Amino acid sequence: MRVVVGEGSCGLAAGAGAVYNRLQELLEQDGQNGVELGITGCNGMCFLEPIVDLYDDQGALHRLVKVQEKDADKVYAAATSGDLSHVSKLLISDEDAEFLDKQTRIALRHCGVIDPENIEDYLAHGGYKAITKILTTGMSQEDVIQQIDIAGLRGRGGAGFPTAFKWRAARDAQGDEKYLICNADEGDPGAFMDRAVIEGDPHNLIEGMLIGAYSMGASEGIVYVRAEYPLAIVRLRKAIKEATERGYLGNNILGSDFSCTLRIKAGAGAFVCGEETALIESLEGKRGMPRLKPPFPAQAGYWLKPSNINNVETYANVSWIINHGGEAFAAMGTKDSKGTKVFALSGKIARGGLVEVPMGTTLRDVIFGIGGGIRDGKEFKAVQLGGPSGGCVPASKLDTVIDYNELAATGAIMGSGGMVVMDKSTCMVGMARFFLDFTAKESCGKCVHCRLGTKRMLEVLNRIVDGKGEEGDIQKLEELCYAIKDGALCGLGQTAPNPVLTTIRYFRDEFEAHIDDHRCPAGECRELITYSIDKDACVGCTSCARQCPVQAITGERRNPHEIDPTLCIKCGNCKTACRFGAVLVK
């Protein structure tokens, strides 16, 4: 039997490393030749980590979830005997299994399936067939770009620009020296799609980049990846070494005239470097600040040479398109948005993780059909799409389909795929402030509109959540939003107002409650709420008093307690500790 431990960052954080080490220890002690131990990347089911997959001699998969180090002996016993009764309590439920069953996976097709540190496993799953097909059948640069064009592949990093158009522009640009760049910066809060792809399927990224480099005549590729992704960097570096040793990278690839090398650049974590020209500046050793366009990177990019930039997910679709044909990819999705899209489900969701669905799927299908709805059965309120550059989509828009144009009509954007789910306990004014605080801090400062405008907006939002909002603040925010959108130099500044505009658009009543009534309807803003104890519900268990860090709660055991509002710091410890719902927040 083959035992495979999920060792993506999420699995390792949950304890997968300890599980693997114990299984390896047992294997070495026992010397069982019938058990093969291996690793894989994240399969997207982050809410069930650590995950261990058992493949029996017939190849059937038996998935174990939430496996801890103490369970490793049972897992080993099941693997050696073939008797799954040892791990019956760890087997995935049919309901949770639907999380993957309801998806259509292209970019993530190998994640959680193959060993990301073994090129042989990638080859066994059809790896490098696409580049081999191109180089051995005489496909021209235009033939390759034509397939990408037929597929209707649009950039998955944010703006959704047609990939084929960018590739043609770089191919047609004058110059013998051209560069292909992968944007793996992924700075959005709540986004982790690119990390999972690199950690779980690095050779697929390499192959996609090779095909892009061939189509435009680039001889060098660069992956700009966040330094905060150490595991992704380690696995990608190993994959580049393996691919070079096997002749898929380097000079005269597969005996052809095509030569291409690949290297990694670890970024310092600046959100603005997700913008392609700021990324290029950083690659050149300068401070990451956007350039004026035109000229565009296809004409004057890295070292002012013709360059093309796509993100990880975009490249992850390329080899599949070449192998299956552009028509097969275009058959999925909508008129203007083809193929599939990967999302990182996080927030108040029951089943958080990575989701890949065909374009045209509704937000409701993703959040409730795949994600299982809101955690603890609470009421859905909104979903933030596109990170700090996106917007909040309310419950009334849940049947919006995943499509570049349809999402844009709501005031949000597709973005790179962050999908942060919120329930009724989320303050939308506070959410707008959270994202604007992020963009204000991440602004590179090059243009006045973004540098100063976001700070002035943040000052207004801080005042509102502190209970000091003034009449006219909403209008002031809207004026600042449109001024920044019109005057900012790059995409970061131009889209920074989106979270504020959409929350005002859909949750204006919450802004008005904060300003006019000095009240936070969600009960989240500290300066606008008070804690009290319902004496009829309080049983005098003293749990709340024991958890209060400032001794603001008094009362005798078995008698109702009371909170002194002059001492209360509104930390929420008492509400968390109370098992009887006696602590009230108003």
Strand blocks (E) in 121-233: 179-184, 220-226
235 in any annotated domain: yes
Characterize the bridge pairing of strands 418-423 and 531-533.
Answer: unpaired
pLDDT tens sequence for the chain (586 residues)? 999 999 999 999 999 999 999 999 999 988 767 899 999 999 999 999 999 999 998 889 999 999 999 999 999 999 999 999 999 999 999 999 999 999 999 999 999 999 999 999 999 999 999 999 999 999 999 999 999 999 999 999 877 899 999 999 999 999 989 999 999 999 888 889 999 999 999 999 999 999 999 999 999 999 999 999 999 999 999 999 999 999 999 999 999 999 999 999 999 878 999 999 999 999 999 999 999 999 999 999 999 999 999 999 999 999 999 999 999 999 999 999 999 999 999 999 999 999 999 999 999 999 999 999 999 889 999 999 988 889 999 999 999 999 999 999 999 999 888 999 999 999 999 999 999 999 999 999 999 999 999 999 999 999 999 999 999 999 999 999 999 999 999 988 999 999 999 999 999 999 999 999 999 999 899 899 999 999 999 999 999 999 999 999 999 999 999 999 999 999 999 999 999 999 999 8
Q: Find out whether 250 and 259 touch, Cβ atoms under 8 Å.
A: yes
Print the domain residue range for 60.
Answer: 2-101
User: How long, in residues, is the chain?
Assistant: 586
Same domain, 475 and 561: no
pTM, two decimal places: 0.94
**Rounded-to-integer distance, Cα 351 and Cα 335, Å:** 30
Identify the CATH number of the domain in which residue 575 sits: 3.30.70.20
Q: Is residue 112 part of a domain?
A: no
Domain total in the chain = 5
Residue type at 17 in one-letter notation: G
Q: Indicate whether 258 and 283 sit together in one domain.
A: yes
N-terminal to C-terminal alpha carbon distance within the chain: 57
Of 265, 300, 330, the last residue of a domain is 330
SS3 507: coil
Rounded distance, CA 580 to CA 130, Å? 61
**Residues 54 and 17 reside in one and the same domain:** yes
- 315 and 211, same structural domain? yes
The CATH number of the domain holding residue 37 is: 3.40.30.10
C-alpha 199/C-alpha 40 separation (Å) is 9
**CATH code for the domain in which residue 365 is found:** 3.10.20.600
Q: Does residue 106 belong to any structural domain of this protein?
A: no
Pair 60, 174 in one domain: no
Shared domain for 268 and 412, answered yes or no, is no
Contact between residue 22 and residue 72 where contact means Cβ atoms under 8 Å apart:
yes
Closest CA to 66 of 15, 23, 108: 15
Task: Please answer whether residues 369 and 361 qualify as being in contact, where contact means their C-beta atoms are separated by less than 8 angstroms.
Answer: no
Amino acid occupying residue 3: V
Give residue 246's identity as a one-letter amino acid code: R
Residue type, 298: A
3-class secondary-structure state, position 541: coil
**398 and 441 belong to one structural domain:** no
For the beta carbon of residue 373, count every other beta carbon within 10 angstroms: 20
Distances 293 to 197, 426, 489, 505, 508 between C-alpha atoms, Å: 30, 39, 9, 31, 36
Residue 108 lies in a domain: no
Question: Cβ of 39: how many Cβ atoms within 10 Å?
Answer: 20
Q: Verify that 129 and 6 share a domain, yes or no.
A: no
CATH number, domain at 314? Answer: 3.40.50.11540
Residues 321, 239 share a domain: yes
CA–CA dist 555, 381 (Å, integer): 37
Give the domain-ending residue among 367, 390, 423: 423
Assess if residue 541 is contained within a domain: yes
Query: Is residue 32 domain-shared with residue 73, that is, in the same domain?
Result: yes
How far apart are alpha carbons 401 and 508 in whole angstroms? 24
Indicate whether 572 and 470 sit together in one domain: no
In a domain, 240, yes or no: yes
Tell me: do 470 and 371 sit in the same domain.
no
